[in-house]
Structure 1
Amino acid sequence: MIRGLYTGASGMIAETIRTDATANNLANVNTAGYKKDVAVNTEFGEMLLYRVNDGNNTQAVGSLGRGTQIDEIATIQAQGVTRQTGNDFDLAIEGPGFFAVETPAGVRYTRNGTFAKNVVGDLVTQDGNRVLGQNGPVRINGNTMTVTETGQILVDDLPADQLQLVGFADEQQLTKEGSSLYAAAPDLQPQPAAGRVLQGHIEGANVNVVAEMVNLINSYRTYEANAKTVQSQDQILDKAVNEVGRV
């Protein structure tokens, strides 16, 4: 009975984490370049039960599950829907790849191409981080900026720089840091990306609102079922202690 309490509680904890991930997806449905998270379950190791007090004729009863846990929060890097904005500083990547940006913590990567030009002419993110090209931070010393599908930057129709479009062999080793930024593991080396750049476009979040709402309801129902399991186990334990054992 005590084991049953822990099994039900593990399910409640797992569904709480899953609900947090789903709620975060819904909160970022309008965030450009956002990639949804999925909670991946795994079970605790099963326990093999045996009949006891049968003399030398001990027999296996069967296996018993001991609950569940969240193994990881996986990020789904599927393409989001692109929409046209008409703003020359808005850039979207169609296909694999990330923009490289300079932050106080080092180089980070993003799919959010909602860029702007700051007062000194640098191409920056919404948080003021400078976008990186092959020659360092991208500087727009002119009136117009044109970006080709390969990431070449033209300022006043003259070649100025080349965007750093990078990809990774294992994107699951990227870690979300907030503000649409990803950090790469120390042993994960960036490589040239095969995606193409769309100027005047923004990539939307790859979140399906209806599907996430269904997931949220399902998580709530599962949490509720586990909570009832804990309540039932508690009631049985109460009877075992206060009634069955009464002399």
Structure 2
Amino acid sequence: MDAFIYTAMSGADQALVALNVRANNLANAQTSGFRADLISMQSKKVPGYGYDSRQDVQVDRMAVNAEPGRLTDTGRKLDVAIDGPGYLALDGPEGIVYTRAGSMVLESDGSLTLDSLPVMGEGGAITLPEHDQVMVGTDGTINVRPLGETELQTVGKLLLVNPDPADVTKDSHGFIVSITGSAYEVDDSVQVKGSHLEGSNVSAVDEMMQTMALTRSFEMQMRLYKTADELSEAGNRLIRA
């Protein structure tokens, strides 16, 4: 009987974990460049002597939905969207991290940041000189027209990467990182679209349907737990009789 209870409670616990993932996806349905989280679970035997019949549901891995979001024309010169697969690179506190969000900010010292992190170029963090105009090419090249000049000058090129979707996960801040912790090589095939932003790839309808299914699953597991408790009590009465 305790094996029955163990299975029911394990299933209910992981249903709650999955509900939290879905809730986070829904909360970011309007977040620019957000990639929906995917959760994979697997039933595993509980190790140890005497636990052969016990099963535990565990998170197998957390994955990232690689489907693209919709591109929106913002008209803002420092907005960029990845047109197809790929990521922008940022200089995080613990190493290079990656993102699909593209609303870059020009700081007072000329540095480009995104979500308060320096935007990385192929030669390091990108800094712009004082300028009248800025343009981002489809290959990530950043051109500016310096103050008092008439011609555009290239000041850097965005560090664009295209890792295998199966090799990426998210860190505690929601940025894309490598599962192995390594940095990705530059991929010249990645294209960007200036003055555009990519929307979240979360499907609110799908997330709501999955949330309802998980809620029903949790309720079923709790009913099983109650049934196991009733069966245990009935067995105890028979023993006492």
TM-score, normalized by the shorter chain, greater than 0.5: yes
1:68 & 1:164 partners in 2: Cα distance?
Answer: 40
Are the structure 2 counterparts of residues 74 and 130 from structure 1 closer, same or farther at C-alpha, using a change threshold of 3 Å?
same
Within the candidate set 216, 224, 244, 2:219 is matched to 224
Matching residue of 1:166: 161
Q: Residue 130 of structure 1 contacts residue 137 of structure 1 at CA under 8 Å; is this kept in 2? A: yes
**Residue identity (%):** 27
Q: Residue 3 of structure 2 contacts residue 54 of structure 2 at CA under 8 Å; is this kept in 1? A: no
TM-score, L = length of structure 1: 0.85
1:175 & 1:40 partners in 2: Cα distance?
Answer: 13
Aligned ranges for residues 1-247 of structure 1 at < 5 Å?
Answer: 1-45=1-45, 66=55, 68-126=57-115, 128-141=116-129, 142-156=131-145, 157-168=152-163, 170-186=164-180, 188-193=182-187, 194-241=189-236, 243-247=237-241
Cα drift, residue 176 of structure 1: 1.4
Are the structure 2 counterparts of residues 18 and 114 from structure 1 closer, same or farther at C-alpha, using a change threshold of 3 Å?
same
2:238 & 2:72 partners in 1: Cα distance?
Answer: 68
Q: Which amino acid aligns with 1:223?
A: F
Cα drift, residue 151 of structure 1: 0.8
User: CA RMSD of the aligned region, Å?
Assistant: 2.1
Are the structure 2 counterparts of residues 38 and 103 from structure 1 closer, same or farther at C-alpha, using a change threshold of 3 Å?
closer
3-state secondary structure, aligned to 1:71: strand
Q: Which runs of 5+ in 1 are unaligned?
A: 47-63
3-state secondary structure, aligned to 1:192: coil
Q: Which amino acid aligns with 1:235?
A: E
Q: Deviations over 1:22-66 (max 9, x none)?
A: 0010111111111111221212349xxxxxxxxxxxxxxxxx883
Cα drift, residue 177 of structure 1: 2.2
Q: Deviations over 1:184-213 (max 9, x none)?
A: 245644123322111111111110001101
Q: Residue 17 of structure 1 contacts residue 39 of structure 1 at CA under 8 Å; is this kept in 2? A: no
Matching residue of 2:148: none
2:200 & 2:216 partners in 1: Cα distance?
Answer: 26
Are the structure 2 counterparts of residues 66 and 104 from structure 1 closer, same or farther at C-alpha, using a change threshold of 3 Å?
closer
Q: Specify the structure having the higher radius of gyration (Cα).
A: 1
Matching residue of 1:54: none
In the alignment of these two chains, the number of paired residues is 228
1:43 & 1:228 partners in 2: Cα distance?
Answer: 20
State which drifts further: 183-192 or 78-87. 183-192
State which drifts further: 229-238 or 153-162. 153-162
3-state secondary structure, aligned to 2:202: coil
Are the structure 2 counterparts of residues 44 and 135 from structure 1 closer, same or farther at C-alpha, using a change threshold of 3 Å?
closer
Structure 1 runs (4+) deviating above 4 angstroms are: none
